[in-house]
Chain A
Amino acid sequence: MTDATFQNGQGLWTRLYYGKTLPILTVLAVVIVSWYAGAVYLNSDILISTYERTNVEWDAEKLVTDAWKMDRPILPAPHQIVAELNKTVFQKKITSKRSLVYHAWITTSATLLGFAFGGILGIMLAVGIVHVPTLDRSLMPWVIASQTIPILAIAPMIIVVLGNVGLTGTIPKSIISMYLCFFPITIGMVKGLRSPDVLQLDLMRTYSASPAQIFWKLRVPASVPYLFASLKVAVAISLVGAIVGELPTGAVAGIGARLLSGSYYGQTIQIWAALVVASALGMLLVYIVSLTEKIVMARMGGRI
């Protein structure tokens, strides 16, 4: 191979070879192959005992085909999950209670509301902590302690308490989201608001700038990169919070409800389909935050 071929090689294969696509596809292929193998291995016990009970003749080929089309497998094969997704995402009307899009929307609305609550709470706490030394000493330990409580333990309590005062539906779920997602925002914003260096602060002092001017013209813009790093983490765990909030209540709608009803009735395919939708939703939310970050940073002179 010479340098010339290297440079001229703008063809598909070169781009595949040097780009990210091929490595990602390779990993995907490995995952899918091991998945199919795993499905056979995990589902074979049940199948074999069924064959023996019903005196069915069987061989390896029959075992493999049956393992990949069970109704309630231990581990469903990828194509079964794809078929379930096709059925519940594309074939159903999105207003139907059987549509995953409908359930995803229920969870998303709680996620976004909780994300907004968490954002506001997180930023307000950070502003207080940075500007008031007493708050720095009194609040910070509590902020950290709040995250040491297992969310699975406190989520039912929040649902019960809020239900008692008449709050049901989206609000309690978003409160759980908020509880999880304010934390990275507070930590990131405290760091961001404190990020201006001595020189940048001295400059403001030479202008006799007021504390409000220092805040808006220096601390806030300096904190933006930190804020976005936090928001990406926060939006992902906000989704986790909303799903966790749907589990203990026996909620009738939402991704969490699908997971719960799937596990009640041993509908593993339904659980996996809901999981795929949940992770796709998480990726979409993080992607939207990243995109916003790119646009904002470009306007703020970031190197793209």
Chain B
Amino acid sequence: MQQAQTTGESVEPMIDAGKPVVEVNKLNLIFETPDAPVHALSDIDLTINAGEFVSFIGPSGCGKTTLMRVIADLEAPTSGQILVNGMTPSEAREKRAYGYVFQAPALYPWRTVQKNIMLPLEIMGLSKDEQLARMNKNLSLVNLEGFEKKFPWQLSGGMQQRVSIARALAVEPDLLLMDEPFGALDEITRDHLNEQLLRLWDQTGKTVVFVTHSIPESVFLSSKIVVMSPRPGKIIDIIDCNLPRDRTLDIRESPEFLEIAHRVREGLRAGHSYDD
């Protein structure tokens, strides 16, 4: 199916649907390039509700990162509507409605871990005490107490990415946007961080939007998986994924897990993601 739509089958009603945090309606984004216009996003319809963990999955060039950047007001759509917390993305950005975790940690190398986490808080103009309190709270949330005075290069890649998550959380946004945050890490570290992230989501009740191209990662983490396909970037399928919230890595061998993973793979195949 070319049109993006929520497939209703096998979907149980969400336990706590919450209010919509992100509403996307007939959204298109066309990049003008010297060769030809690139249709990066085509007729995207999507609603993300409070407390959900939503993954965007698809091959490179399917627009998953672009869609996330539109939500964050880092790209402007060509047509269509998008509301974040009922506001335009730029209003939401100015109100610091979200925390953004990039593919790379993007820590400032001249700042210590502590100063990196306090960077957005300095910009928000919070008091020194408040900055320190939030820094300490979020550093322990990502299990990095004692690393305050270290510089980024003294940490491993996984630790650096955890610092960048703590930095995003320190803003205390209700919405966390994560763009392939663990893409550059080895699989063992990634599994470990996935578990930690799940705990974090469970503890904080935040809404998480997560971009990935790993099927197991998306199934393991998400309450909703958005399958996308390239040229033009569009939504192929939206799969609800109601594994128990206190799941552990073992769940990846369970039949329910494999069934959802299978459906994601079917969605990707339907979007010609496996074509040459």
Contact = CB atoms under 8 A, between A and B. Distances in A.
Contact of B151 (A202, A207, A221, A301): A301
Given A202-B74, A202-B102, A207 B124 contact: yes
Contacts, number: 53
A221 B153 contact: no
Interface stretch (B46-54, B115-123, B183-191): B115-123
B152 interface: yes
B72 interface: yes
Given A213-B123, A217-B119, A217-B122, A206 B108 contact: no
A280 B207 CA distance: 64
B123 A221 contact: no
Contacts of A199: 102, 104, 106
B274 interface: no
Given A203-B100, A301-B111, A208 B93 contact: yes
A303 B152 CA distance: 11
Task: Give the interface residue-count category, chain B.
Answer: 20 to 34
Contacts of A64: none
A146 B153 CA distance: 41
A233 interface: no
B98 interface: yes
Nearest to B168: A206
A168 interface: no
Contacts of B98: 206
A224 B110 CA distance: 10
B106 A200 contact: yes
A169 B120 CA distance: 50
Contact of A300 (B93, B94, B110): B110
B102 A218 contact: no
A202 B101 CA distance: 11
A6 B100 CA distance: 53
Interface in A167-217: 199-200, 202-209, 213, 217
Given A217-B119, A301-B152, A206 B109 contact: no
Nearest to B93: A208
Contacts of A208: 93-94, 96, 123
A203 B124 contact: no
Interface in A226-266: none
Contacts of A224: 110
A102 B99 CA distance: 61
Contacts of B171: 207
B108 A221 contact: yes
B94 A203 contact: no
Nearest to A209: B123
Interface of A: 199-200, 202-209, 213, 217-218, 221-222, 224, 300-301, 303
24 contacts: A199-B104, A200-B108, A202-B74, A203-B100, A203-B106, A205-B74, A206-B72, A206-B93, A206-B98, A206-B100, A207-B119, A207-B123, A208-B94, A208-B96, A213-B123, A217-B122, A217-B123, A218-B108, A221-B108, A300-B110, A301-B111, A301-B112, A301-B153, A303-B153
